[in-house]
Amino acid sequence: MSALAMAILLNGMGREEVARWTAAMIASGERMDFSTLSRPTADKHSTGGVGDKITLPLAPLVAACGVAVPQLSGRGLGHTGGTLDKLESVPGWRAALSTEEMLAQLEDVGAVVCAAGDGLAPADKKLYALRDVTGTVEAIPLIASSIMSKKIAEGTGSLVLDVKVGTGAFMKQVDAARELAGTMVDLGRDAGVRTVALLTDMSTPLGLTAGNALEVRESVEVLAGGGPADVVELTVALAREMLAGAGREDVDPADVLGSGRAMDTWRAMLRAQDGDPEAPLPTARETHVVAAPASGTLTRLDAMAVGLAAWRLGAGRARKEDPVQAGAGVEWHARPGDAVREGEPLLTLHTDEPERFERALASLEGGYDVVPDGGPAYVPAPLVIDRVG
């Protein structure tokens, strides 16, 4: 099996080969069925980034538009955050649901975010562990089949993929990200799932926070009609794709977001999983402010640097069994293109353990640029780079 994985890394796979490989992984376990629901289903998968809290406002938004969202999510590892870790910072919220509980919540509330059971594509778990120790993680056919075997087995009617590209993403180059997106879109369509992918920028972290409770707080701001512009933009763009895939192009998610209906669904979604939407979120015991080194324009904030800092502050884990701190993370007070003043706060680091600050600060060294007034004009990069499918 190790030799086969290496052969796939070196030689690639044709479309039929990847489809057969993926079908075999699906057949190693169970498949879910949402055909009994009274509304169509749509799901979203992100390949992972820094400050990527989009699932939190997106799932209740799409549900408020009349489409059920069965979001099976995972935990963070390394510099990328995990949706379940974020939601577990909400007091009482639980990630583990039975299939019966999941179906009931989808019918009653319209959205569920929970942990995937061991029964979906169990062969993928074994293969992933093998890829990790044989240096074959980066094989695009294996990445695509790993993601899509679970998503197809999940049983959703349509799927939108958010393929991140940039310094803070697994895919650093646009061409490789486009190849991965195309392979996954083909796999979805060959399996009868309406699938599209957006290539989105992950050179700059999303929003203004990276960390579990910090990102939940920011997501609530988005649902309340505020929040950072880039988070709102990507949430609405992905919602439009999900609604189109489910045949609900007649609904404008931007209008629904502004109406407050998505916030009602968010609260109902948390309560259905024993979470308390009114309870205060955890905060870190210690903070450290990083001041702007000069006055001018912030022209770069590197996603990988911020992600590593958040991880080292306790927001992430090195091994899947490691605990995480709910209140740890990084908050930035300016985004690229914003004016900053020397000595004023640029970033705030949060952790329960002050001895973590030193390594987090080391991660941020060289991770941002401030151009003095009168320097080259800042030209923003597009958030949505391309659409595949």
The DSSP letter of residue 28 is T
Of 43, 52, 85, 124, catalytic: 124
Of 145, 146, 219, 363, catalytic: 146
131: annotated active-site residue? yes
- Tell me which long-range contacts 322-325 makes (C-beta under 8 A, separation of at least 24): 324/76, 324/85, 324/212, 325/212, 325/284, 325/351, 325/352, 325/353
146: annotated active-site residue? yes
The runs of H, that is alpha helices, within the chain are 2-11, 15-27, 55-64, 83-87, 99-108, 122-134, 140-154, 174-190, 212-223, 229-245, 253-259, 261-272, 303-310, 357-364
Pairing of strands 339-340, 296-301: antiparallel
45: annotated active-site residue? yes
The three-point CA angle 198-169-240 to 5° equals 20
Mapped onto helix, strand or coil, the DSSP state of residue 1 is: coil
Of 45, 86, 151, 194, catalytic: 45
For the chain, the distance separating the N- and C-terminal CA atoms, rounded to the nearest angstrom, is 32
Cα-based distances in Å from 337 to 95, 231, 297, 383: 38, 16, 6, 14
CB 159 within 8 A of CB 43: yes
The DSSP letter of residue 68 is B
Dihedral sign computed on CA atoms, order 130, 310, 87, 168: negative
Of 79, 131, 178, 356, catalytic: 131
Structure tokens at 365: 């060294």
Residues taking part in catalysis: 45, 124, 131, 146, 150
